[in-house]
C-alpha cells in the first residue's frame, strides 16, 4: 500500500502530460487508494489536464479554421474567375 501511494503521488507531481500507460496505471492506483487528500490531489491534477486539453484543442481548431477560411477564399476566387470567363465567352463572339 505504501508503494502504491508513493507511485501515485509521484505520478501526480509529474510536470509533463501523462502517457497512456501512466493513465492506466493511475486508474489502478486510484482504486486502491482511499485517502481523501490523495483523491483531492488526483481531482485537481485531472482538472489541470482537462484545462490543458481544452487549450490545445482550441489552438488546433483555430488553425483548422484558418485553413478552411483560406480554402474557401480560393474556391470563391476560382468560381469568380470561371464566371467571368463564362460571361466573356458568351458575349465575346456576339460583340467583337
- Average pLDDT for runs of 10 along the chain of length 96: 79 81 77 67 79 85 92 97 90 68
pLDDT of residue 54: 87
Contacts 24+ apart (CB under 8 A), 75-80: none
Domain boundaries, the chain: 2-66
Q: What is the pLDDT of residue 5?
A: 78
- Give the per-residue pLDDT at 68: 95
Cell of 59: 489552438
Euclidean distance between CA atoms 25 and 19, whole angstroms? 10
Q: What is the DSSP letter of 13?
A: T
pLDDT, position 1: 61
Q: Return the C-alpha cell found at 52.
A: 490543458
Amino acid at each position: 500500500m505504501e508503494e502504491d501511494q508513493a507511485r501515485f503521488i509521484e505520478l501526480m507531481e509529474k510536470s509533463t502530460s501523462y502517457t497512456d500507460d501512466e493513465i492506466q496505471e493511475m486508474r489502478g492506483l486510484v482504486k486502491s487508494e482511499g485517502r481523501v487528500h490523495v483523491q483531492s490531489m488526483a481531482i485537481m491534477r485531472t482538472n489541470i489536464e482537462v484545462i490543458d486539453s481544452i487549450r490545445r484543442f482550441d489552438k488546433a481548431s483555430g488553425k483548422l479554421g484558418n485553413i478552411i477560411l483560406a480554402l474557401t477564399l480560393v474556391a470563391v476566387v476560382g468560381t469568380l474567375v470561371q464566371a467571368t470567363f463564362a460571361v466573356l465567352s458568351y458575349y465575346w463572339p456576339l460583340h467583337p
